[in-house]
Each structure stands twice: as structure tokens, then as C-alpha cells.
Amino acid sequence: MKPRPALLDSSGPLYERVRHVLERMALSRPLDDDTPLPPEPRLMEEFGVSRGTLRRAVEELTRDGLLSAEQGRGTYVNHEERVRRVVWQRLELVARPDSRFDLDLRRFVPDFADRERAEAAVVELEAWSSSGTIFIAPDNSLEHLRELALEAGKRVLVPTFGLRRGFVLLDGGILDPGDRALAATLDGMERFGRRFGPADVRSVQRVDAVVTGATAITIDGRHIGGGQRYLALEWALLEQLDVVDSTVPVIGVVHDCQVIDELVRADPDCIVDLVVTPTRLVRCREGGTVTQLRRRRV
């Protein structure tokens, strides 16, 4: 029997130590790796643990969403969850803490270093300049873009958290200039905007563009959120009410470390047309192919 990995010699229940090793094993693989974990007997021998200890560790990671056991085939890593966890690790180096959740990135989409450079690229897009009404997600990283939209006299439609309080419509054309910064915040938007129940959003008539943050976005445009599927719900509702359709451009604004260049399997919340980062503009669906445009660092 092989010596146990050094991590298994640390303190804590043995099954928890095995779980940590399995998690590190899953996250260290290439993001496009589709192969199952080694079979049970091999892992038992490698870790020097019993079947019961190994299975408890696997069951914990399965409940947590990182692993999935397929009868007769083996135990696989959930691609979507692996992408989230890998990106969260990357984001810890560039994320700006939230006043409520600090750096618990499972709870929110963070603002990030050099976000201002991404914003400068967004406002140069024709999809932005030609839009009168823009859906902008309630992500921390998009607060200043919501303010810029209001300064440009645009209407901004923002969903409340989990749609628990519906949507809020802000009209930059009628807002006092001194109120725009506060109106762009999650705490201030209901004070200055008009709140709609989901069925009332039809009165908005038309959203010209959608701007969203993300946990990650793949190079072919798949938007991966935190797992709650809020954007998928919001898009489905707006589409059902004829407020958006497939012609509405969807712009994802993220840090470079959130762009996944590997072709991974993931069930997206929606498909993004453009990805804007501090250094890149990625056109995901131009002519049915992926086109990347590099912007000069300034």
C-alpha cells in the first residue's frame, strides 16, 4: 500500500481529509478533462483508507455539487461546478470585497481590479450607444455602468435579488444628476426607480441590450453564474413578455481570469454575444464562429 498523501496526515476526521484531497484532485485537472476519477479500489489503495471512508468523502462532494456518480460508469467531476471553483480561486487575487459578504464569492458577483478599462470598452460599443433601454444585472461589477447609463439618459432595467421584489426601472432622462450615483446602487435604486412585478414588465416594451456580469463565461459564449440560474429565469420571463428576443445583444463584462478558453461542458444561463474584459473583446457568435479582438494595453 502506498504511503498516504501528506494532506491526510493533518488533523480532522479522516473522511474530511480524503474529501479535501479529492477536491484538490478534481480542481487540478484541465477544465476540459472528461475522464472519471480513478476507480474505488485504486483510490482506497492510494489513500490508504477503507471503502466506507472513501465513499463518505465522495458522497460529501456529490452533495456539494462537485462530483456526480454515474452507476456503471464511474464518478465524474461536474464541469460547471469545477469552472466556478477554479474561477473563484483566480478571482480572490483581483476581486474587490463586498461590504456584506467580504470575499465569499459564492454569494455575489464581485467588482474587480481594472474594471474601469472594461467599462471604457463597453460604452464604445454600438450596442450600448444605440440603446435607449438597457437591462443591467445587479452585480457589484456593474454598478458604475448603471450610473454611466443613467448619465447618458438611458432607461435601466434592473432585476431585484432572485426577482423577490420584481424589477426596477430607472430613467436617466428624468433623474436629477445628483441622484444618479445613488440610484445606480442596489440600496438606492428602489428609492429613485419604479418597481414592477414580473407581469408588469411588459409595459417597458423593449430592452435594446443586456449587460451582465458572471462567475465565468466560456470562449463560445456560455454564461456560467453562481448556480442559482437567476439570469436564465430573468431572460425567460422577459422573452415570454416579448421584451427581449434572440436579436437583443447580450454583453458579458468580466475580468480576464473569468474567461474560460477551454471548451468545457456547461449548461449556460444564457448565451453571450460579446465578452468585454479589461484587455479583451471577444465576439462569441459573429458569423457562427468565435472571433477574438485584442485591445492594446493602455
Other beta carbons less than 10 A from residue 203's beta carbon: 11
Largest CA distance in the chain: 74
Strand partners, 282: 275, 292
Query: Tens of pLDDT along 113-168?
Result: 999 999 999 999 999 999 999 999 999 999 999 999 999 999 999 999 888 889 99
User: What's the pLDDT tens digit per position in 166-216?
Assistant: 999 999 999 999 999 999 999 999 999 999 888 888 889 899 999 999 999
Query: Are the C-beta atoms of 175 and 150 separated by less than 8 Å?
Result: yes
Per-residue model confidence as pLDDT tens digits over 247-281? 999 999 999 999 998 888 888 888 999 999 999 99
Name, in order, each residue with C-beta under 8 angstroms of 64's C-beta and a sequence gap of 6 or more: none
